Structure 1
Amino acid sequence: MISEATLDDVPELAELLGILFAQEVEFEPDAARQREGLRRIVSDPNVGRVLVWREDGRARGMANLLFTVSTAQGADVAMLDDIVVHPEWRGKGIGSQLIAAAIDLCRARGCTRISLHTDNTNQAAQRLYERHGFRASTMIAMRLHL
């Protein structure tokens, strides 16, 4: 049920990102930007990977991983940048399956750490991440939009 996204998946995945960004405080859905971002990731496996959970041939959930190098780790690390399950499919363990698949993919790639950001009000997501071994960091996220 989980596979890596292809360019053909981009329109459906952009719809899922629209759902995610509509519920987040700092982001707004912009389908054209989401499609472009997804195309860039899917087209270059060195940039990242997008995992898709499908049922009946439709994308019902996704997890987006981005790769970089950490000077602190001296190794490859990943950012779990987006994870979303369509509201009608939540509560079925899909998010948990996507996180487990993302962890497996990162281990196989030799990554030594996965980081993520979550809205500080999204307690359900935080509990989900904690069940998979993620812990709150003392670091805070800061942004400069250019």
Structure 2
Amino acid sequence: MIVPLTEHPEFHEVVVQWLHSEWSVAASEIETFLPPSDVRPGALVATSGDQPIGALAFKRHQSRFQSSAELWINAVYVHPDHRGQGVGGQLVRAAMDVCRAHGVAQVFAYTDVPGLYSTCGWQRLFLSPDSGMSTMVYETGCNPNSD
């Protein structure tokens, strides 16, 4: 099951530890992008029974090409015991639903696993020849400028 992390505050510290261990990001920085804000949705958590098994977080980045900040999936983490079971795809699809519900027209990801995103309908914008990382985009079909 995928739910907002705010529905399971008891998993908050575990998610911070996962993201810190996986990407060596300071816990204080992770704390800034887990809760929902006016500019982005809050983190999602995947659960199995009463245990967390994965998480996804969003972050806003200022675009070099637009006046507004773009919404990015900042982290997708699945506990090693649950990898290869579709949890990552479930998290990404849940994030797509959240973005549509928030009226977000596009969401981006910078990833070393572009196949995870492409199987969910995302398109590759750029492949970095140096790092092998892909910039992916998903068009939600929402028009944030329409009233």
Q: Does the pair score TM above 0.5?
A: yes
Higher mean alpha-carbon deviation, 88-97 vs 128-137, is at 128-137
Q: TM-score, normalised by structure 1?
A: 0.71
Q: 1:109 to 1:129 in 2, by over 3 A?
A: same
Q: Residue 41 of structure 1 aligns with which residue?
A: 33
Q: Verify the 8 A CA contact 1:62 1:98 in the aligned structure 2.
A: yes
Residue type of the partner of 2:120?
A: H
**More strand as a share of residues:** 2
Aligned residue runs from structure 1 range 1-146, under 5 A: 1-6=1-6, 7-21=9-23, 29=24, 33-34=26-27, 36-48=28-40, 49-67=42-60, 77-119=70-112, 125-138=113-126
Query: Structure 1: which 5+ residue stretches go unaligned?
Result: 22-28, 120-124, 141-146
SS at 1:137 equivalent: strand
Structure with the bigger RCO (C-alpha within 8 Å, sep 6+) is 1
**More helix as a share of residues:** 1
Q: Residue 122 of structure 1 aligns with which residue?
A: none
Q: 1:73 to 1:134 in 2, by over 3 A?
A: farther
SS at 2:3 equivalent: strand
Q: Verify the 8 A CA contact 2:53 2:79 in the aligned structure 1.
A: yes
Residue type of the partner of 1:17?
A: L
Q: TM-score, normalised by structure 2?
A: 0.70
Q: Verify the 8 A CA contact 2:20 2:30 in the aligned structure 1.
A: no
Residue type of the partner of 1:82?
A: A
Question: RMSD between aligned alpha carbons?
Answer: 2.6
Residue-pair matches, total: 125
Q: Residue 24 of structure 1 aligns with which residue?
A: none
Distance 2:70 2:103 in 1: 8
Query: Structure 2: which 5+ residue stretches go unaligned?
Result: 129-147
Residue 138 of structure 1 deviates from its aligned partner by 3.5
Q: Percent identity?
A: 25
